[in-house]
Chain A
Amino acid sequence: MEFFTISLLNGVSYGLLLFMLSAGLTLIFSMMGVLNFAHASFYMLGAYFAYQVSEWTNFWVAFVIAPVLVALLGGAFERTVLRKTHKFGHVAELLVTFGLSFVILELVQLVWGRTPVEYKVPAALDGSLFKLFNSTFPTYRAFMMVVAIGMLASLFLVLKKTRIGLVIQAALTHPDTTEALGHNVPRVFAFVFAGGCGLAALAGVIGGNAFITEPGMAQAVGAIIFVVVVVGGMGSLGGALIASLLIGVMQTFAVGLDWSFIGGLQSLGVDVTPETFGYPVWKLKLSQVAPILPYLLLVVMLVVRPKGIMGTRDE
């Protein structure tokens, strides 16, 4: 019971962080059709900016300023570079963000060095919120969950209930009509791109100190958020939420389970020895493969339901 509760909490909080990361990516993709390969790099920039700003001032200032700065950078990139490649098609757009991820990585290493920086959790949020059986639940994890849920709620409100949201939605489906109505569609796109980058940066601000702020952090999450987006269904925010939570919880529980094929086969009366064909596969424990489960899930999902959980198009 203890293990179950703790694992569930851990899984959900990790899943929510994944959602924060993939929300921006999904948003940009669904609105502009651009897969931002550098999305995880903006996440990293968020963490580094937050580290730098909190060194100068404090965490709370960084919490506000870092995402804004990254959003501005993202918007500038959209206006100066990405927009130029729009006419060459989606492959060029993907490539340009791919190149950007290289450049950001190098620049981060140039400015902050190649070893981890000491980006600390603020004192007010350090420590444990409550004790559950023997383990403690850190306050900061709870804070992360609150921020993620808050972000989800405000995202929903902005998109569904405000005028800006309506314009954004209109610009997506009917860009020409929206333009004819006097709205600046390119500016809407820049706004969306900046917003998506800002969301990634926000995830970086709260993920950077919960985990570790170092140059490898972008690559570490880069592939997994792509999995979230594909499994959730390309361009679906709701799907991304479900997929993030699914992956978070699944990974967390898998770590705790020492199941392997050998155990399963033996309970079925099949004897497996090191001489059996494929022994290296049968002996693997579920806990050992936990971190790559998302990729397995991706493969299974593509075979069973190529359009993803909430996807609408079957490309």
Chain B
Amino acid sequence: MSNAAMKPLHFKPLNGVRIVVWSAFAVILLLLPVLARSNFAVTLLCLTGIAAIACMSYNMLLGQAGMLSFGHAVYTGLGAFVAIHAMNKIGGGWPIPMWMIPLVAGFAGLGFGALLGFVTTRKAGTPFSMITLGVGELVFAAALMFPEFFGGEAGINSNRTAGSGWMHGLGLNFGGQIQVYYLIAIYLFLCTAAMYAFTQTPLGRIANAVRDNAERAEFVGYDTRWVRYLIVMASSFFAGIAGGLTAINFEAATADLVHGTRSGGYLLFTFLGGVGFFFGPIIGAVLLIFSLVVLSELTKAWQLYVGIVFLIMVVFAPGGISSLLMLNLRRIKYGEWRKMRWPYAGMVFFGLIALWGFAAIVEMAYQAQVAAGSGSVVTVARIPMDASVLASWLIAAAVLLFGGICFEIWRRKFNKVWGEGEERIAEAIKKAEAAIV
């Protein structure tokens, strides 16, 4: 037995590393809009902040409790609708300040989580997924069926500058986008902290147990259904906050907020960001907004690319981007990263070549199928390709083939180097342990 293991454990939530990480997070949130050079960049930051809360709340289900939900947008969306009604009530003279709207929406989300979660959590695993899908469809259909609450197809509008109070006296009426950004940033920080704290609570830990082995958790004496139910409620609370922020940001709530496409988006990008680490969904949120706003402007085939990247990630890196990051950090820590520089460089280089060939084929196909009227030439990474000429197809295919083969060669080299490194790290760890004993 090592001495280290004999030391009594103390609950010290604020250790040095944590203080540094969280302070850095706060400073980054504070400074981001200063670095943003245009109004639109601020708009993007707002969207990303909201998406980050939504994705993290989703990860409470998927990452923490292993519940794959296809209906998370139900809670963000319903939260947004309650928020928009509350905003209109403020316009009508309700004495609560506008900054509390996300909280109102959060509690609304909690309420809907309690209501719908009661049904969805009756089952775990795959049936849970299918049920959330069904409930999501139900809520979306209802959104169009009850225009009294959802405003029908056109949705409900509101005005975030409504209301009064000391904040308005200071000019803080949320008229400008930058004020909305800081509201979102504050909520993002608080929600992130709260959700992180939640992972450390007994309930958060039991959720992990239920995820890893529901049967054993049941045997130990926990009611797994009750755990699932509580997690769904907690997750819906934060989802509701994200919805409330959406309502403030757009000053409108429409039925597409509860649509399955949005739920699918949360699932996809939370997974891409990585469900295994707490910060993974934040990466996912950045990717989500990037794909929706930036990538979709670059290419009409963006959904195809996202789908394929997702497939590749599920098969080869089920831990998402955050796990890839952490694996490489571990390499750096053990001084193993240097040996992988060349394999990495080779893989990236030939991967990009193969990607170009693939993208050229896809873009030409889109040009020929979707936008045939506007000519047959499409520019792929500054190289013009003519979809009506057979040669360009052959070139693209050849580039794809060449890049693919070279990539595969380098990937094998990489695997070899990676495996050797892994062995050395395992040895190093063993040695370190032996040294302690």
Direct A–B contact present (CB less than 8 angstroms): yes
> Which residues of chain A from 286 to 315 have a CB within 8 Å of any chain B CB?
288-289, 291-292, 294-296, 298-299, 302-303, 306, 315
> Is the CB of B306 closer than 8 A to any CB of chain A?
yes
CB A258 to nearest CB in B, in angstroms, measures 16
Q: Which of B125, B134, B135 neighbours the largest number of chain A CB atoms within 10 Å of its CB?
A: B134
Say whether B315 contacts A96, CB under 8 Å. yes
Point out the residues of chain B lying under 8 angstroms from A161, CB to CB.
none
Are the C-beta atoms of B127 and A295 separated by less than 8 Å?
Answer: no
A129 at the interface (CB under 8 A from B): no
Of the listed stretches B30-38, B140-148, B197-205, chain A binds B140-148
Question: Given the complex of chains A and B, what is the CA–CA distance between A101 and B413 in angstroms?
Answer: 33
A230 at the interface (CB under 8 A from B): yes
A100 to B149, CA, bound (A): 36
- A223–B71 Cα gap in the complex (Å)? 12
Return the chain A residue nearest B146 by Cβ. A280
Q: Name the residue of chain A whose CB is nearest to the CB of B124.
A: A315
Instruction: Considering the complex, give the chain B residue whose CB is closest to the CB of A227.
Output: B134
Stretch at the interface among B175-183, B250-258, B363-371, B376-384: B363-371
Closest to B126 in A: A35
Say yes or no: A230 contacts B122, CB within 8 Å: no
Q: Is A98 an interface residue, CB under 8 A from the partner?
A: yes
Query: Does B151 have its Cβ within 8 Å of any Cβ on chain A?
Result: no
A265 sits at the interface (CB 8 A):
no
Give the chain B neighbours of A125 by CB distance below 8 A.
none
| Interface range for B | 35 or more
Do B126 and A280 touch (CB < 8 A)?
no
| Cβ-based interface call for A264 (8 A) | no
Whether B340 is near chain A, meaning CB under 8 Å from some CB there, is no
A157 at the interface (CB under 8 A from B): no
A106-B301, A106-B304, A315-B124 as given contacts; A85 in contact with B315, CB under 8 Å:
yes
A303/B126 in contact, CB under 8 A: no
What CA separation (Å) do A35 and B149 show in the bound complex? Answer: 35
Give A221-270 interface residues, CB cut-off 8 Å to B.
Answer: 222-223, 226-227, 229-230, 234
**Closest Cβ neighbor of B116 among chain A residues:** A299
Of the listed stretches A87-95, A166-174, A189-197, A203-211, chain B binds A87-95
Q: Report if A92-B314 is in contact (Cβ < 8 Å); known contacts: A110-B366, A113-B369.
A: yes
B-contact 0/1 string along A81-116, CB 8 Å cutoff: 100110010111011101110110111011101100
- Across chains A and B, which 6 residue pairs bring their CB atoms closest together, nearest first? A102-B307, A106-B304, A295-B138, A103-B307, A99-B310, A226-B130
Q: A110-B366, A315-B124 given. 6 additional CB < 8 A pairs? A: A81-B311, A95-B68, A95-B310, A96-B315, A110-B365, A299-B134
